[in-house]
Chain A
Amino acid sequence: MIDRHSMPAASDSESTLQKLRLGMHIMLEGARIETGRTPRAVIWSKNKARLYRYAPTAQKRFAVPILLVYALINRPYILDLLPGSSLVEYLVGQGFDVYLLDWGIPGDEDSDLGFEHYLFDYLARAVKRMLSFSRSREFTLLGYCMGGTMSAMYAALFPDQPLRNLVLLASPIDFTPEATGLYGLWTSARYFNPHQMVEALGNIPGELIDLGNRLVKPVANFVGPYVTMWERIAHDRPLDSWLAVNKWVSDGIPFPGAAFRQWISDFYQQNKLVKGEIELRGRRVDLTHICCPVLVIAGQQDHICTLPQAEAAMRLLGSQDKEFFTLDAGHVGLLTSPNARKKLWPRLWNWLESRSL
């Protein structure tokens, strides 16, 4: 990687050439930067999944640990992007005992893994391990994106578990076409056959998922990032956060075929979650069984999980203690934008503080 801080002072034309070289290098080689730097240790593993425990940096103040659950697509280090821009680092610094369940990168042998496997065999066991390791009696579950949808399903399937709090961050619950926008149109049964795709591809490649996400706003997603990059290079602004976010966006992982089939067919095409028709291993997912305090967070500019999709949790979950919070940010901006650091994280801490003692 070209380190422009070590480049000697240059004339205007040389400076322009150096900037051009830097930009072209990034465009050709891809964004490279070290991410996920908060120290952690693996306390449990299954197949490719890893349960991490983050080393506390402050005195532990809260008895209730937090388990972070991310989606099955992209990597979870978006929650621990860079020092100063890491939700994990923030929570650990506030005295929480923080754990993260990383699903890992599925291989061809995992193409039959569906949501029932991930919830019953992975998440349930991870919760048990975490409670045993932390010696605590209750825990908080924080799910981001599809991880939030999975967390809500887990909470509904296992109401007897000691779930103290549930936080849903940009988590789609309602998949009615009016709420899903272009996603709903593209994945409708009339135009999209997930079974055929899974039969041909097995696991859906991460590049294909990434392409679909970018096509929702093609100009902003294909051209916009590089405009921002060139603007930062031209005006000598820091590039680290841009590199980290773009590294993550391009770091997609395969979506297990069985889970992909369920996600498109049961959620997007038939909206079974809202109707209470999802059955996993003979057990119906009924969101009204969730009774713990719930915090639902959504981005006003989020086109991947729209406001109505996230807000549906407020009317469907059975909890009495429910709160809905929105931020002027997009799907990724909820974690990485300066607005998130100033407004969302303190709000999250404030909500958890009184419910984690």
Chain B
Amino acid sequence: MTEGAKTHTSSAAEAAEIWKQWFGTSAETWSALLAGSKGIPVNPYILYDIWARSAGEALKRMKADASEVNEVWKQWIGAWQQGLGVGGEQPGCPAPWLEILEETRNKILAGGAMSQDPFTWFLQWYEVTSEMWAKAVGDFMGTEQFMEAASQSLESLTRIIGTLRRTNEAYFSNLQLATRSDIARVAGLVVALEEKVDRFEDAFDDFTDVSARTAPHDPVSTIEERLVQVESKLETLSATLGKIEAALEQGNRLDQLEDKLDSILAALARGEAENSLAIVKSTGAPRRLSRTKSARQPKASEPLSG
């Protein structure tokens, strides 16, 4: 026997065993649910069988006398109760379920005549019964009993599905056919590649953001820096020119002052010359020293030497 065949056979045996366990668990669950079973194992489908038989009876009666819908409803409920053990013919139904049926019948009959229109009849039935059923089902689903049964069922189902998947994988693998896991692996590689591309994109975005905020070697910022330097130099130059201008102004003032001094000196020289002439006229002897002095005094219009 080949490895694949052995695997297939063992998987099939495992599946059959799991099916037996599931059926047994379900039978015990329903038995516990009915509570009055007193340890007698119950066929899980017995309730559906009872319902189908009672519904058939009710339909026959409705066909016979369709005008008395309320009466038919009472008879249908009665059929249910009889089927579920009020008459002692079947294993007992828990009291709460019988109470629900009783309450349902009373509420429907208290609401007046039921409509013959099937839609309206169905709506009336739902409005009357939904709250009770919801409460009953909700209470039951919160019990430890239900939780244990549901947990076991889920565990069995999970094991069955897991086994089926492994069996199918092995089967298709032996046939050299691509399985879901093979395709998933290839898809995973594509996803991983996309993740790498995303990381490149993120790094590029971060680089762009950082460059936009701080770029010391960026030509634009370099030009900006140079412009700032040029501006500062221009300011220095402007300040220097101002100083020079001030100095020139001072120089002009000095020139003016010098001119005035020259005028004063010229005036003094003329005065001295007139004094000398007056003396000469009074004494008759030239005074060489004064002329020599006056000859040596530069004229105001002559440029300063050096």
The reply to whether B198 and A200 contact each other, CB–CB distance below 8 Å, is no
The reply to whether A125 and B187 contact each other, CB–CB distance below 8 Å, is no
CA separation between A81 and B224, bound complex, in Å?
A: 55
Contacts of B174 in A (CB 8 A): none
| A interface, size bucket | 35 or more
Partner of B158, one of A16, A19, A121, A200: A200
Contacts of B194 in A (CB 8 A): 46-47
Measured CB to CB, the closest approach of chain B to A254, in angstroms, equals: 12
Q: For the complex, is A324 an interface residue (Cβ under 8 Å from B)?
A: no
The reply to whether A192 and B198 contact each other, CB–CB distance below 8 Å, is no
**Known pairs A125-B202, A200-B162; A224 contacts B142 (CB<8 A):** no
Quick one: CB contact mask for B133-169 with A, threshold 8 Å, 1 for yes? 1100110011000011011001100110110010000
Number of interface residues of B (CB under 8 A): 38
The reply to whether A108 and B126 contact each other, CB–CB distance below 8 Å, is no
Contacts of A196 in B (CB 8 A): 155, 158
Q: For the complex, is A110 an interface residue (Cβ under 8 Å from B)?
A: yes
Q: For the complex, is A24 an interface residue (Cβ under 8 Å from B)?
A: no
Contacts of B195 in A (CB 8 A): 121
Among A109, A218, A223, chain B packs the most CB atoms within 10 A around the CB of A109
The reply to whether A215 and B141 contact each other, CB–CB distance below 8 Å, is yes
The reply to whether A186 and B123 contact each other, CB–CB distance below 8 Å, is no
Measured CB to CB, the closest approach of chain B to A23, in angstroms, equals: 9
Q: For the complex, is B181 an interface residue (Cβ under 8 Å from A)?
A: yes
21 contacts between A and B (CB under 8 A): A47-B191, A108-B180, A108-B183, A109-B185, A121-B198, A125-B198, A186-B150, A197-B154, A200-B158, A200-B159, A201-B162, A217-B134, A218-B141, A219-B133, A219-B137, A224-B130, A230-B119, A230-B122, A231-B119, A233-B119, A234-B119
Nearest 5 pairs of A and B residues by beta carbon: A200-B162, A108-B184, A234-B119, A109-B187, A109-B188
Residues of B in contact with A (beta carbons under 8 Å apart)? 117-120, 122-123, 126, 130, 133-134, 137-138, 141-142, 147-148, 150-151, 154-155, 158-159, 161-162, 165, 180-181, 183-185, 187-188, 191, 194-195, 198, 202, 205
